[in-house]
Chain A
C-alpha cells in the first residue's frame, strides 16, 4: 500500500474504528462533563484538536531528539505530561483572550485537558506504533477528531434528551451513561471496516 493510503487508513481507524472515547475509553471525564450543549462541545472539541495535534508534534520531537539519544525512555510519561500541561496552559491563555464566552463555557474542563488521558494516550500510542512525524500528526489530529465526533454526537443526543419524557429515576446522569454505553456498542460496528 502506498504512503498516502496508509495515512488515510490511520485517520479512518483512529476516528472511527479505534475511537478514543467509545472504543478505547480514554477521556471519559470531559466526554460526560462538556456534552450538555452542542456549541460548547464544539468549542471543547476544537481545543482538544489543537492540544492533541500540538502535543503529538512536541512529544515526537522530545522522544526522538531528547529521550532516545540520552537513553532516557523511562522518563517518557513525566516528560509527556510536562509538555501537555504547558500546552494546555498556553491554550487556556489564548482562549481566554480570544473568546471569554467559550472560556466561561468550558470552565474547569479546560484545565482538565491537562489530565485528559486521551492526550497522553495518543502521544504514547504514536511512539508505540513507530509512526513517523507525518503519521504522528495525522494520528493525533485524527484521535482528536474522533473525540470531537463522539462529544458532538453525545451533546446532540443530550440536547434532545432534555426535552424527552424520561422515567424519574433515570433522569440526568443515569440516562447519559446508558446513552454512552449504547453509542459505544454502536461504534463496535466499525470494527469490521479495516482488516
Chain B
C-alpha cells in the first residue's frame, strides 16, 4: 500500500531533481553577463510600460539607455527626477526638463455646445466620430465618450459635463491620450502655462457662434491685445506660443466669447489691471 504511494512520488521527485541539477549546471555553463547598469536603470524607471519613450516598454528603454542609444531624459513619465536618477547611474548630468501635461482643448460642454443628432451607439469617441463626425454640431469638439479616459494608464482623465478633463496632478505626460483622441484636441502644454485657448474649431466665426457659446470666433482681439506677440489666429483659431507667453492673461480678459481659459486666481500681481 505504502509502496504504491511512495513509488510515483520518489520516481517523479528523482527525475525532477536530476533535471534540476542538470539545468543548474547548464545555467552556469551558459551564463551570459548582462550590463549591470541596465538592471539599475530598470529599477528607477516607473515600470508602467506605456511606450511614451518610443521603446518597447521600460526594459527596452533601460537597455537603450545603457547602450547609450537613448537620452537619459527619454522617460517623460518619470520626468526630471527619474532623469536625474538615471544620470547618477550613467554618470551624466541631467538637464532640467519642463514638465508637460495633457490638456483637452475644448470647453463646449452640454450647456454650451449643441448637438446635431442624438447618439445612441457604442460608448466610444472613435466609433461616434465615424458617424458624420460625431453627434456634436462642432466637428472639432470633445465628444466626451471617454476613449481617452479608458486609454489613460494613470487614471488621470475624467468626464465632466460631457467634456474630458485632465487632472494635472496625476498626468505624467505619456501622450497616450493625445494619440487616441479621434478629434486631435488633446495637446501637451507646459505645466507652468496658466493661459490656454480652449477651442480648436477651424470653422468660420459665424458658424462657431451658431453651435457653441465658448468657441473661438477668430475675431483677433486677443492678437491685438497681446503685448508679447504670443497669440496668433491661424486657420480661424487662436494659438498661443508658450515660449513667448508670460501669462499676463490680458487675452483671456479681452476675449468676447471667453474661449481663452486663464487661471486668474494665481495671476501675478504686476499683471492685474494691465488691460485698462
Stretch at the interface among B7-15, B74-82, B248-256: B7-15
A185 an interface residue at 8 Å Cβ cutoff? no
A67 to B11 alpha-carbon distance, docked (Å): 9
Ordered by A's residue number, 13 sampled pairs between the chains whose C-beta atoms are within 8 Å are A66-B11, A67-B11, A70-B11, A72-B11, A78-B12, A79-B12, A82-B19, A83-B15, A86-B19, A93-B27, A94-B30, A96-B30, A97-B32
Interface range on chain B (Cβ under 8 Å from partner): 10 to 19
Is B15 touching A93 in the complex (CB atoms < 8 A)?
A: no
Within 8 A of B (CB), among A83-97: 83, 86, 89-90, 93-94, 96-97
B2 an interface residue at 8 Å Cβ cutoff? no
Known A90-B23, A93-B23; 18 more pairs at CB < 8 Å: A66-B11, A66-B15, A67-B11, A70-B11, A72-B7, A72-B8, A72-B11, A75-B8, A83-B15, A86-B20, A86-B22, A89-B23, A93-B27, A93-B30, A94-B30, A96-B32, A97-B30, A97-B32
B48 an interface residue at 8 Å Cβ cutoff? no
Q: Give the dominant DSSP class at A's interface.
A: helix
B26 an interface residue at 8 Å Cβ cutoff? yes
A107 CB to closest chain B CB (Å) equals 10
Is A93 touching B11 in the complex (CB atoms < 8 A)?
A: no
B7 CB to closest chain A CB (Å) equals 6
Is A93 touching B26 in the complex (CB atoms < 8 A)?
A: yes
Is B12 touching A82 in the complex (CB atoms < 8 A)?
A: yes
A124 to B22 alpha-carbon distance, docked (Å): 24
Residue of B nearest to A89 (CB): B23
A181 to B16 alpha-carbon distance, docked (Å): 39
Chain A neighbourhood of B30, CB < 8 A: 93-94, 96-97
Q: Which of A62, A89, A96 contacts B15 (CB 8 A)?
A: A62
A105 CB to closest chain B CB (Å) equals 13
- Over the window 14-51 of chain B, the binary record of Cβ atoms lying under 8 Å from chain A Cβ atoms (1 yes, 0 no) is 01100110110011001010000000000000000000
B164 CB to closest chain A CB (Å) equals 29
Q: In the complex where A93-B30, A96-B32 touch, is A82 in contact with B16 (Cβ < 8 A)? A: yes
Chain A residues at the B interface, C-beta cutoff of 8 Å: 62, 66-67, 70, 72, 75, 78-79, 82-83, 86, 89-90, 93-94, 96-97
Chain B neighbourhood of A78, CB < 8 A: 12
Chain A neighbourhood of B11, CB < 8 A: 66-67, 70, 72, 75
Residue of B nearest to A97 (CB): B30
A120 CB to closest chain B CB (Å) equals 16
Chain B neighbourhood of A75, CB < 8 A: 8, 11-12
Chain A neighbourhood of B32, CB < 8 A: 96-97
B16 CB to closest chain A CB (Å) equals 6
Across chains A and B, which 10 residue pairs bring their CB atoms closest together, nearest first? A86-B19, A97-B30, A93-B30, A72-B8, A89-B23, A93-B26, A90-B26, A70-B7, A75-B8, A66-B11
A36 CB to closest chain B CB (Å) equals 16
A75 to B19 alpha-carbon distance, docked (Å): 17
A115 to B124 alpha-carbon distance, docked (Å): 37
A89 to B27 alpha-carbon distance, docked (Å): 9
Residue of B nearest to A70 (CB): B7
A87 CB to closest chain B CB (Å) equals 9
Chain B neighbourhood of A86, CB < 8 A: 19-20, 22-23
A71 to B22 alpha-carbon distance, docked (Å): 26
A60 CB to closest chain B CB (Å) equals 14
Is B15 touching A82 in the complex (CB atoms < 8 A)?
A: yes
A11 to B199 alpha-carbon distance, docked (Å): 70
A158 CB to closest chain B CB (Å) equals 21
